[in-house]
Amino acid sequence: MPELPEVETTRRGIAPFIEGQEITEVLVRQPRLRVPVPDDLAERLVGTRIGVLTRRAKYLQIPIQPVAANEMSATLLWHLGMSGSLRIAKVGDLPKKHDHVDVVTASGYVLRYHDPRRFGFVDWQLDDEALDKRLAHLGPEPLSDAFNGKWLYTLSRNKRVAVKPFLMDNRVVVGAGNIYAAEALFMAGIDPRRAAGNISRARYDGLALAVKEVLAAAITQGGTTLRDFVSGEGEPGYFAQRLNVYGRHGQPCLRCGTELRRITLGQRASVFCPGCQR
C-alpha cells in the first residue's frame, strides 16, 4: 500500500505538470472504485483550473479553481488505496488495463489514475475539512513542528498498547505505517513490544526525531518499492535498498550482527533487533 512518502513523492512528481492548468476533458473508464466516482466529476471539472496540490496524511488534495468569479471553488480528495498510482501521460498515450480515470489539461498533459484492485477513490472533499470524517480525526503531520516527543509522551500516558501499533495509529501521527514505524523504532533503539505508557519523555524525543528522519529519507529516495508502486513520473521508489529491519527477519542486524526477529503486533508483522532495541 502506498504510504505517506509514496503519496508525497506522487504529489511532487505530478504537480509541475498540472498545477495552474485548465481542465479540458475528464474520462471515467471505470466508475466503480472503493467509493464510486462522483457522477458530476466531469461536469464540475471541465473548464476549471488546477490549484496548488497539497497532501493530508495519505490523501492528495487537488484544489479546483473556477474560471467564472461567481462559481465556487472545490477540492478533490484522491486516495491511492492498496495498488493505485497517479501518473502523468500525454494526450494520445493509449490507456493500459486498470487506467480508470483521466483528467486532461489544455497543455496536453493527462493526470491518469491506475488501480488494479480499485481500493482507491477520488471524491469531493467537504468545504470544512474539520467536518470531513476522512480527515477530521487525523493526528499531526510527522514532518511538522506539531509532532514531537512531548506530543507522543503526553498521548501515551497510561497506554498499555505496544509502542509500535501506538505509533501507527493515525490519531497519534499520520504516515508512520508498518515499514516506517519499524525503521524509526530501530533507529531510536526501542523494542516495538514495549508498552507505550512505559517509555520516557527522552526516548520519545528520540523516536519523534527518528520518525522525521526516516520519512524524510524515504521521500528523498522516492518512496519504498512495494508491489507495483511507482511515482507520478513512472519511477519506482528506492528506499527499500536502505531498510534496516523491515523484511529482513532472520538476517543479521546491520548494526550489531544479532539475528533479526519477526513477531506479530496488532495483527501486523514486525521485525526488530533484540540486541539493539530495548
Whether 124 shows a pLDDT value over 70: the answer reads yes
pTM: 0.88
The arithmetic mean of pLDDT across residues 93-99, rounded, is 97
User: Considering only 29-43, 48-62, 165-179, 241-255, which range has the smallest mean pLDDT?
Assistant: 241-255
- Confidence band of 262 (pLDDT split at 50, 70, 90): very high
Cell 526516548 locates to 203
Query: pLDDT at position 67, please?
Result: 73
**Angle, helix 201-220 to helix 178-188, in steps of 10 degrees:** 130
Report whether pLDDT(142) > 60: yes
Residues with catalytic function: 2-3, 58, 268
Out of 28-37, 78-87, 205-214, 219-228, pick the least confident: 219-228
Task: Give Cα separations from 223 to 83, 140, 191, 216, 239 (angstroms).
Answer: 14, 20, 25, 10, 6
CA atoms lying within 13 Å on the CB side of residue 214: 29
* CA torsion, ordered 131, 134, 135, 139, to nearest 10 deg: 130
What pLDDT digit, counting tens, does each position of 228-245 carry?
Answer: 434 445 554 445 557 999
Residue 232 and residue 244 in contact, taking contact as beta carbons nearer than 8 Å: no
Closest CA to 24 of 90, 108, 101, 92: 108
Q: Which domains does the chain have, with CATH numbers?
A: 4-124 (3.20.190.10), 149-272 (1.10.8.50)
Count H helices and E strands in the chain, helices first: 6, 11
Per-residue pLDDT, 238: 47
